[in-house]
Structure 1
Amino acid sequence: MAATVNTVTGPISSEDLGKTLVHEHFMFGYPGYQGDTTLGPFDREEAVRVGVAVAERAKSHGVKTIIDATPNECGRDVEVLREISERAEIQIVCSTGYYYEGEGAPAYFNFRRSLGTAEEEIYEMLSTEVVEGIAGTGIKAGVIKLASSKDAITDYEAMFFRCGARVQKETGTPIITHTQEGTMGPEQAELLISEGADPRRCQIGHMDGNTDVVYHMNTLEHGVNIAFDRFGIQGIVGAPMDEARTACLIGLLGMGYTDRILLSHDTVNLWLGRPLRMPEQLQQLLANWHIGHLFENVVPKLRRAGVTEEQIETIFVENPKRLFDPLPVREAAGAAG
């Protein structure tokens, strides 16, 4: 039976997701950008214009749905997402959740943790945004976003993982994650499952930050899905080059994991705050970090390596649907391996 998926324009059937990019950002700002508004004011009209252009490029490749993974404290604006969705006629699923401790905004809930109230308050926030809506807009989050640090899940981050698993148990909402620099994939899976999360509804993200096949197998053995969702980000923040991650992906597909892998870019299409001044060398490294990269550059390489059209359809259409609408346990067990 199909599941109901919350989008920024209202609920849809999981059958209607279509071709999906599972981790992108129409706009993003590192916490602190709000203090730089004198020189980096927010231009809503520009945000919508850029978002529509990005959506149109994705649509030209057949994309029907984009999951915007922007955490609450990093510039998430669901009303801007709704306007982009309406103008571009594309489905957008927004997130509820907070970023990892090192680059998020931990002071707020760490202070409340010192008062002994944080964990229940985090649960209330996630649950309310999924069940009732976000900040009086009526827009409901369709996924729960969680994140961990390099080589650690901090005590602060673990609160969000526990609360996310709790909300998923109650609502069935998928969990998508951020792993930092190719670390903590198996540990994220273990923690979520220990807290009662359904592994079939969990997408462990940024796994392409690590090209060690054993790392991927150790994560997959928990029954979760993994996302190679940073294509185009290479040579910085510990990210491998696209050629290496593509080779790892082809190997995993050849080993029979097609049903458990999702693809995306983690693009930031508008940076909040002052415009970035990227060095020329960095611009060259990131030249393919755009919403069309997978379809224009990566998928052709997969085809040349023998990846079939059926596998590509599974990755972009069936696997996102399955994330929201997983197989019954008996069928899933029969399909394993």
Structure 2
Amino acid sequence: MSRTVNTVLGPVEVDSLGKTLMHEHFFFGYAGHTGNTKYPVDRDEAIRVGIEVADKAKQHGVKTIVDATPNDSGRDPVLLKEIAERTGLHIIFSTGYYYEGEGAPAYFKFKQGLGTAEDELYELYMDEIQNGVGNTGLKPGVIKLGTGKDAITDYERMFFKVAARVQKETGISIITHTQEGTMGPEQAKLLVSEGADPNRILIGHMDGNTDIRYHLRTLEQGVYVGFDRFGLQGFVGAPMDKDRIGTLIGLIGLGYADQIMMAHDTVNYWLGKTPEWPKEMQKLITNWHVGNIFENIVPALREGGVTAEQIEQILVKNPNRIFGGSESLKARNKNKASGVR
């Protein structure tokens, strides 16, 4: 049976996604950036940068990028569509909201007080997934969720509960943000307990934590984990890439290559005024770009004994599986034959 996923250019066959980066941002702005009217969005420049990023990714064999920008952080599927049209890259965009501490919670918190927030959020998710964003006709291919450091707030929990409900009804995949290497196991448990399919869940930014036990507590719930901040290191609670690589090699050695995905969480065009990074920070993020995995991380993994087949599993087969492609069917059939549920 043919299986498709929504991209900015319409539904595409999941089996055609190929090498995929599961968590990037062509452009991103923290909630409130529109209030600084001195720095409006330069749409031409955003597209120029987006094309440059897409072309660089394609040079490394990437065919698909999932743009994880949520609704309250400047998501613009029309801009993404133009980048896709001009580069041939598959771009899957998100519906969802950022975590409470860095998102735009006032609107839905007000509605929570009225007791109408969950119904309205469900209506939003379903309308975008089924009909498209506004009058664009462009439909998201994932739901994006997030939680803050060391806790899941009531506000954040509401989004998770509604997303699980929508996932059960539509089959859409879910990707998440975890803050500073915390709450991964709790996110997975919450979504699965609400009935979401673990095979359609990617718990993001798990490489913010180098404790193998933390990863195993998440993986044992059947979800995928994202080593998806390569290049963003040494601040905001992020470990150095060399330490992440060690953790990743350990998990692969334990047999979890089929539950891992990779990306960088790059922000390639900042909405509002571009951050002015201190010099020491600039040095740390020299490799925070869409080529880092292929130029630096994969060679290091190979030196650590990771095989080409395992790397293909992470970059090609696992993204296929989370979107329900033929690799997902193969995995289910294999588990059925071996008696694994």
User: How far does residue 331 in structure 1 lie from its aligned partner after superposition?
Assistant: 3.9
Percentage of pairs with the same residue? 62
Residue in structure 2 matched with residue 7 of structure 1 by the alignment: 7
The 3-state SS of whatever aligns with 2:100 is coil
Within the alignment, does 1:191 sit opposite 2:185 as a pair?
no
Residues 238-292 of structure 1: CA distance to partner in whole angstroms, max 9, x if unpaired? 0001110010000001110010000000000001001221111110011100010
**Structure 1 stretches lacking a partner, 5+ long:** none
- Structure 1 pair 336–313 and aligned structure 2 pair: CA distance change class (3 A): farther
Asked whether the 8 Å contact 1:165–1:196 carries over to 2, the reply is yes
Asked whether the 8 Å contact 1:34–1:273 carries over to 2, the reply is yes
Residue in structure 2 matched with residue 32 of structure 1 by the alignment: 32
Residue in structure 2 matched with residue 179 of structure 1 by the alignment: 178
For the aligned residue pairs, the C-alpha RMSD in angstroms reads: 1.3
The 3-state SS of whatever aligns with 2:101 is coil
Within the alignment, does 1:73 sit opposite 2:72 as a pair?
yes
Query: What letter matches 1:311 in structure 2?
Result: Q
Residues 209-241 of structure 1: CA distance to partner in whole angstroms, max 9, x if unpaired? 000000000000001010100000111110001
Give the whole-Å Cα distance in 2 for the aligned partners of 1:47 and 1:222. 39
Residue in structure 2 matched with residue 285 of structure 1 by the alignment: 284
Query: What letter matches 1:47 in structure 2?
Result: A
Give the whole-Å Cα distance in 2 for the aligned partners of 1:224 and 1:81. 28
Residues 158-201 of structure 1: CA distance to partner in whole angstroms, max 9, x if unpaired? 11001110111011100000001101111001100111000010
User: How far does residue 3 in structure 1 lie from its aligned partner after superposition?
Assistant: 2.1
User: How far does residue 301 in structure 1 lie from its aligned partner after superposition?
Assistant: 0.4
The 3-state SS of whatever aligns with 2:102 is coil
User: How far does residue 29 in structure 1 lie from its aligned partner after superposition?
Assistant: 0.1
Residues 115-143 of structure 1: CA distance to partner in whole angstroms, max 9, x if unpaired? 11101111111111111111110100000
- Structure 1 pair 307–30 and aligned structure 2 pair: CA distance change class (3 A): same
User: How far does residue 336 in structure 1 lie from its aligned partner after superposition?
Assistant: 5.9
- Structure 1 pair 94–273 and aligned structure 2 pair: CA distance change class (3 A): same
User: How far does residue 4 in structure 1 lie from its aligned partner after superposition?
Assistant: 1.2
Query: What letter matches 2:52 in structure 1?
Result: A
Give the whole-Å Cα distance in 2 for the aligned partners of 1:62 and 1:168. 30
Give the whole-Å Cα distance in 2 for the aligned partners of 1:161 and 1:214. 24
The 3-state SS of whatever aligns with 1:64 is strand
Query: What letter matches 2:225 in structure 1?
Result: I
> Could you state the TM-score of these two structures normalised by the residue count of structure 2?
0.96
How many correspondences in the alignment? 336
Give the whole-Å Cα distance in 2 for the aligned partners of 1:319 and 1:335. 21
**Structure 2 stretches lacking a partner, 5+ long:** none
Task: Trace 1:312-331 onto structure 2 (pairs within 5 A).
Answer: 312-325=311-324, 326-327=328-329, 329=332, 331=334
User: How far does residue 306 in structure 1 lie from its aligned partner after superposition?
Assistant: 1.2
Residue in structure 2 matched with residue 223 of structure 1 by the alignment: 222
Give the whole-Å Cα distance in 2 for the aligned partners of 1:64 and 1:266. 17
Give the whole-Å Cα distance in 1 for the aligned partners of 2:201 and 2:2. 17
User: How far does residue 332 in structure 1 lie from its aligned partner after superposition?
Assistant: 3.9
Give the whole-Å Cα distance in 2 for the aligned partners of 1:90 and 1:264. 16
Asked whether the 8 Å contact 1:227–1:263 carries over to 2, the reply is yes
User: How far does residue 2 in structure 1 lie from its aligned partner after superposition?
Assistant: 4.4
- Structure 1 pair 331–167 and aligned structure 2 pair: CA distance change class (3 A): farther
Asked whether the 8 Å contact 1:40–1:275 carries over to 2, the reply is no
Query: What letter matches 1:232 in structure 2?
Result: G
